[in-house]
Amino acid sequence: MCGIVGIVGHSQVAPLIVDALKRLEYRGYDSAGVATIEKGELGRRRAEGKLINLERRLKDEPLDGTIGIGHTRWATHGVPNETNAHPHFSNGVAIVHNGIIENFAELRDELTRDGYKFASQTDTEVVAHLVARELARGLKPVEAAHAALKRLSGAFALAIMFQGDEDLIVGARNGPPLAVGHGDGEMFLGSDAIALAPFTNSITYLEDGDWAVVRREGVTIYDVDGSKVDRKRQQSLSTSFMVDKGNRRHF
């Protein structure tokens, strides 16, 4: 299984994302990566192998930014290498993804006919191009994400970030779990509550078909039809016993 983390925060997020990804190592992985937005521009660092390799890359080439997404990848489409590692980019769209897009070959052919070039062998890059195409057609970021999601078949969880918007991550769940973490002027996404435990134990679990608009001041959740829904916010108390406090501030 892949691991997903997203943070819309108020401090440098790259080291926090790597810390959260370490708590997802139990899922197994063969590569890892982080993307942030700094001064309106997307930046990315990826590495094959263990998280220590990504940490070394970030030490040599730091990433600034108070918003970011991260990923540990277990290869399903494409060999395990840096090119296939997430996050994937397309014209100002950044995405991380867990699961399998079952109709990716059909979508890839469609996008290729429309002139989109693929840098990787992954099904994930298809989603990045789909969102970018909707943006090119004039949709706003949240609308573009929803339009792209409606084209996907399969079991997936994902997080999407948009160049130029440092207060937005769109998350979606259709099968694999995805949790929203609530902070004080900051919000989080994670494949499970364990990843978010150093930051918050106030969690909302997305249900199948849900997609979420995550900003610093909160989250708006929609169902598969685009209607706003309320999902229970709960205290994930068990995680506080599973994770050392370290230098985190919430417990």
Residue 73's pLDDT is what? Answer: 59
Tokens 């521009």, located at residue = 41
27 phi, psi to nearest 5 deg? -75, -15
pTM of the model: 0.91
Cα separation, 111 vs 115, whole angstroms = 6
Residue 76's pLDDT is what? Answer: 56
The SS3 of residue 27 is: helix
Q: Which residues contact 168 (CB under 8 A, 6 or more apart)?
A: 8, 67, 141, 142, 161, 162, 213, 214, 215
As a CATH number, domain 3-242 is 3.60.20.10
Cα separation, 84 vs 118, whole angstroms = 11
Q: How many residues comprise the chain?
A: 251
The SS3 of residue 216 is: coil
Residue 248's pLDDT is what? Answer: 43
Residue 160's pLDDT is what? Answer: 99
Token pair belonging to 174: 């259709």
Cα separation, 110 vs 48, whole angstroms = 30
Residue 46's pLDDT is what? Answer: 95
Question: Would you write out the chain's pLDDT as a tens digit for each of its 251 residues?
Answer: 678 999 999 999 999 999 999 988 776 678 899 999 999 999 999 998 888 999 999 999 999 999 999 988 555 545 556 778 889 999 999 999 999 999 999 999 999 999 999 999 889 999 999 999 999 999 999 999 999 999 999 999 999 999 999 999 999 999 999 999 999 999 999 998 999 998 998 999 999 999 999 999 999 999 998 999 999 999 976 444 444 444 344 33
Cα separation, 173 vs 29, whole angstroms = 20
Residue 245's pLDDT is what? Answer: 40
Give the residue extent of every domain in the chain.
Answer: 3-242
Q: Which residues contact 90 (CB under 8 A, 6 or more apart)?
A: 116, 125, 128, 129, 131, 132
Q: How far is residue 182 CA from its own chain's centroid? A: 16
Residue 241's pLDDT is what? Answer: 41
Residue 31's pLDDT is what? Answer: 85
